[in-house]
């Protein structure tokens, strides 16, 4: 479609935040619920999450982790055991203080109201994260070094009171996985945190077609109570950053607070070294903002709820059944193929709607490949093929047999093109900077992108710069590959340093 006429209004250039909301609405992914700050994830959106969950879960299990489930309600005293952790989440906690409701009739209006009653002796916090409650279980489960490492993952929901909710990116309740592990030594725990960090980087690249900068958080930005936080940072199309996943080495901070101890090889009692790590439904928001365009959602094939949609074109009733039979036969043949180990997800749209309405619905839903088959195609054995990563008007006619043979490769090409496009965009919006005046000037621009700087400043200096420009150090990159060349002199202090920092605005 032309720039003047698009399926999504406003466009990205006109109003990016509103464009994002309209993409979600047009693709029928989710909606705001009656509960403030919470969302209803609709089937098309939840299907994406299910695929993310299934594919990540296979990765976790392949590296020796097992799934378990822990309570939603955490005694307040558990959070208080690790002071820095409790303080870090204090403003986001939802607290349960009563255990029943009583019906009371209003003497003026006569209406019945439900009043909380039965105050709890100890309040419960609805889990903002589960380090403390899982740590209590670990303390019961671990007795000897022979019980280590303990590698546990949980798929769950969490609650963090959010004042400015945004679907998928920031909601009060969201879905995630949280891994929690305990180890005999620091080296083993650090290796675990780094291994999972690498898994997240690979998953975003190989499944979501999202390139990320992998790095370590500064002390200011670390997870509360952690000794080290590793992050993968994604750039979306308004040049802001999204923290797409984190992996934390917690040292012995939580194990000492919760007595996660064991008898060591030398017979002494020692405290375990622990980790935690997680990604959430924020990945869906990141995906939307990275790939979608002014005509709607664009889905990477591996997490597309349907990878191929076949649209029957039946202008005449007498040919309708023959066209439908051909569409179903093609779908059955395609479903026998696999893409990265999973059967192809193929849908035949038989609804009694016009072809144009169907076409635009699937465009807005982001299906990677659309196929049209009409009466004339039955004779020629051809299909009309359209790819969501290409212009809306682009199409090609291919022999059915040829398309069947090439379908998997085409899905791979779509993934590669989305990844290449996102990588080029990100790299073109990372600016090297070794000058304080240029640093200040950069943030006066609209959608300025990231700055990549040599850095030797203090925690207080980082805080001052962050407050001044409403930015943060997104990470200290682990690798300089794909990052621009820059000076070895810190732009603020002038000191020689090998440390580099990525600065940006974020969601």
In 3D, which of 417, 430, 422 has the Cα closest to residue 486?
430
Q: Which residues contact 2 (CB under 8 A, 6 or more apart)?
A: none
Per-residue pLDDT of 404-450, as tens digits, reads 999 999 999 999 999 999 999 999 999 999 999 999 999 999 999 99
Q: Residue 375 class from Cβ within 10 Å (0-12 exposed, 13-18 middle, 19+ buried)? A: middle
- pLDDT higher than 90, residue 264: yes
88-102 pLDDT tens trace: 888 999 999 999 999
Per CATH, 16-93+131-291 and 301-426 having the same topology is answered no
User: How do residues 459-471 score in pLDDT, each as one tens digit?
Assistant: 999 999 999 999 9
**Residues 313-323: what's their mean pLDDT?**
90
pLDDT for 197 equals: 98
User: What pLDDT score was predicted for residue 496?
Assistant: 97
Question: Tens digit of pLDDT for each residue in 13-27?
Answer: 999 999 999 999 999
For position 3, what pLDDT does the model report? 47
- The answer to whether 439 and 461 have CB atoms below 8 angstroms apart is no
Structural class in CATH, domain 16-93+131-291:
alpha beta
Model-level pTM greater than 0.85?
yes
| pLDDT on residue 81 | 85
* Average pLDDT value over all residues in the chain: 96
Residue 4 binned pLDDT confidence (cut-offs 50, 70, 90): low
Residue 344: is its pLDDT beyond 60?
yes
Half-sphere exposure of 358 (CA within 13 A, CB side): 18
Q: Is the pLDDT of residue 353 over 70?
A: yes
The domain spans of the chain are: 16-93+131-291, 301-426, 430-504
Mean pLDDT for the stretch of residues 285-313: 98
Containing 154, the helix (H) or strand (E) segment is strand 150-159
Instruction: State the CATH class of domain 430-504.
Output: alpha beta
pLDDT at 58: 98
pLDDT for the residue numbered 1: 38
Share of the chain above pLDDT 70, in %: 99
Question: What is the predicted pLDDT for the residue at 87?
Answer: 84
Q: What integer is the mean pLDDT of 475-491?
A: 95
Q: Which residues have C-beta within 8 Å of that of residue 230, sequence separation ≥ 6?
A: 193, 194, 197, 214, 215, 216, 217, 246, 247, 248, 249
Query: In this structure, are residues 135 and 276 in contact, taking their beta carbons and an 8 Å threshold?
Result: no
Helices (H) and strands (E) in the chain, counts: 14, 25
Query: What's the confidence (pLDDT) of residue 330?
Result: 98
Across the chain, which distance is largest between two alpha carbons, in Å?
Answer: 84
Check pLDDT > 70 for residue 190.
Answer: yes
At 317, is the pLDDT very low, low, confident or very high (cuts 50, 70, 90)? confident
- Asked if the model's pLDDT at residue 507 lies above 60, the reply is yes
Domain 301-426, architecture per CATH = 3-Layer(aba) Sandwich (3.40)
- Model pLDDT, residue 2: 42
- Residues 373-397 have pLDDT tens digits of 999 999 899 999 999 999 999 999 9
CB atoms within 10 A of CB 351: 11
């Amino acid at each position: 479609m032309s720039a003047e006429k698009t399926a999504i209004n406003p466009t990205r250039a006109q109003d990016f935040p509103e464009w994002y909301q309209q993409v979600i609405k047009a693709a029928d992914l989710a909606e705001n619920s009656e509960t403030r700050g919470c969302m209803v994830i609709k089937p098309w959106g939840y299907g994406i999450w299910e695929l993310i969950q299934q594919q990540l879960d296979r990765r976790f299990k392949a590296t020796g982790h097992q799934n378990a489930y822990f309570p939603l309600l955490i005694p307040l005293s558990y959070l208080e055991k690790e002071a820095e952790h409790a303080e870090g989440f204090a403003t986001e906690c939802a607290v349960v203080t009563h255990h029943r409701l009583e019906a009371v009739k209003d003497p003026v209006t006569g209406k019945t109201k439900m009043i909380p009653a039965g105050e709890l002796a100890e309040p419960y916090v609805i889990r903002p994260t589960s380090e403390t409650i899982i740590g209590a279980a670990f303390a019961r489960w671990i007795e000897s070094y022979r019980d280590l490492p303990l590698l546990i993952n949980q798929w769950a929901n969490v609650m963090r009171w959010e004042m400015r909710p945004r679907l998928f990116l920031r909601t009060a309740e969201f879905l995630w996985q949280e891994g929690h592990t305990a180890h005999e030594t620091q080296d083993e725990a650090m290796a675990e945190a780094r291994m999972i960090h690498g898994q997240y980087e690979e998953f975003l690249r190989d499944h979501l077609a999202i390139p990320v900068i992998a790095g370590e958080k500064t002390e200011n930005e670390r997870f509360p109570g952690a000794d080290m936080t590793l992050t993968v940072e994604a750039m979306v199309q308004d040049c802001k950053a999204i923290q797409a996943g984190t992996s934390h080495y917690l040292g012995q901070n939580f194990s000492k607070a919760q007595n996660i101890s064991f008898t060591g090889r030398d017979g002494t009692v020692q405290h375990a070294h622990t980790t935690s790590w997680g990604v959430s439904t924020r990945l869906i928001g990141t995906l939307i903002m990275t790939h979608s365009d002014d005509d709607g959602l664009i889905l990477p094939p591996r997490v597309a709820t349907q990878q191929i949609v076949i649209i029957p074109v039946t202008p005449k009733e007498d040919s309708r059944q023959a066209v439908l039979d051909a569409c179903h036969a093609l779908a059955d043949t395609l479903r026998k193929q696999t893409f990265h180990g999973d059967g192809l997800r193929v849908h035949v749209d038989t609804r009694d709607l016009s072809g144009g309405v169907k076409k635009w619905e699937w465009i807005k839903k982001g299906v990677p490949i659309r196929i049209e088959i009409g009466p004339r195609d039955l004779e020629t054995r051809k299909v009309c093929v359209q790819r969501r990563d290409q212009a809306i008007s682009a199409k090609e006619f291919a022999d059915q047999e040829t398309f069947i043979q090439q379908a998997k490769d085409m899905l791979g090409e779509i993934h590669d093109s989305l990844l290449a496009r996102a990588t080029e965009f990100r790299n073109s919006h990372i600016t090297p900077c070794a000058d304080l005046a240029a640093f200040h000037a950069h943030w006066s621009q609209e959608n300025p992108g990231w700055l990549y700087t040599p850095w030797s400043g203090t925690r207080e200096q980082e805080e001052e710069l962050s407050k001044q420009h409403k930015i943060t150090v997104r990470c200290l990159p682990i690798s300089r590959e794909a990052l621009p060349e820059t000076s070895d002199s810190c732009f603020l202090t002038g000191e020689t340093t090998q440390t580099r920092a990525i600065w940006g605005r974020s969601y």
